[in-house]
Amino acid sequence: MDIYYIILVLPAVLLALIAQGFVKSTFRKYNAVHSHRNITGAEAARQVLDAHGLTHVAVGKVAGDLTDHYDPRSNTIFLSTSTHDSTSVAAIGVAAHEAGHAIQHDVQYFPIQVRSAIIPATNIGSKLSVPLIILGLFLSSVAQDFILLAELGVICFGLSTLFQLVTCPVEFNASHRALETLKGTGMLDEDELPKARKVLSAAALTYVAALAVSAMQLLRFVLIVAGAKGGSKKRR
């Protein structure tokens, strides 16, 4: 029985599941509330972009539900069907949030630059971390020096945790920029802004929960490898 998983990781996983359910229910609730100005998510994203001089950034549609994202490689905001064509307060908030990411890239917001810079290392590290940890733990029973492989695996996994850590301020800042622009341009009325804020706050919780899961998993690996390393020294 992996006691570290039960004590550390499982509660964080449950928190993540609750956060995912909360964001879906919140989006569903405010997706039924149509904006007074009757603009679509696509139109909202376009207006936010234009308000910041980003006329070169395109707005497209992507399949799926809540699959909205900004692709800096093609300078395109992709909005899911539930956001692109909807005139709801929720859709406008989500669309403006994605436009916020385009603004971050344009002004070279430091956390998003860091996140972009570590993506290649994070992708490699996430694939190698667990195999290295397992291999290192297994071979350390033969020769203690192989525990270095497990320690390298922990470092690789730490890159994923670093990515989640940097993602949090990026997402919070994108939401802040979105709400400020929605208010400044008058796309949402005063009574509609709190509803859009609730949708974006619920979405932000999923990133906090993802960070918690990654951090607890990292701590679990650190404790397991440290325990195995201590056991190897005792056997010598």
Over residues 120-151, the pLDDT tens digits come to: 999 999 999 999 999 999 998 888 889 999 99
Supply the pLDDT for residue 181: 94
Q: Is the pLDDT of residue 236 over 80?
A: no
3-state secondary structure string across 102-167: HHHHHHCCHHHHHHHHHHHHHHHHHHHHHHHHHHHHHHCCCCHHHHHHHHHHHHHHHHHHHHHHHH
pLDDT tens digits, 79-135: 998 899 999 999 999 999 999 999 999 999 999 999 999 999 999 999 999 999 999
pLDDT at 1: 65
pLDDT band at 233 (very low <50, low <70, confident <90, very high): low
Q: What pLDDT shows up at residue 97?
A: 97
Would you give the DSSP letter of residue 85? S
- How much is the pLDDT for 235? 55
pTM score of the predicted model:
0.90
Give the DSSP letter of residue 88. Answer: B
**pLDDT tens, position by position, 188-229:** 999 999 999 999 999 999 999 999 999 999 999 999 999 888
Per the structure block, which two tokens stand in for 223?
């404790």
Q: Which residues are catalytic?
A: 98
pLDDT reading at 231 higher than 80: no
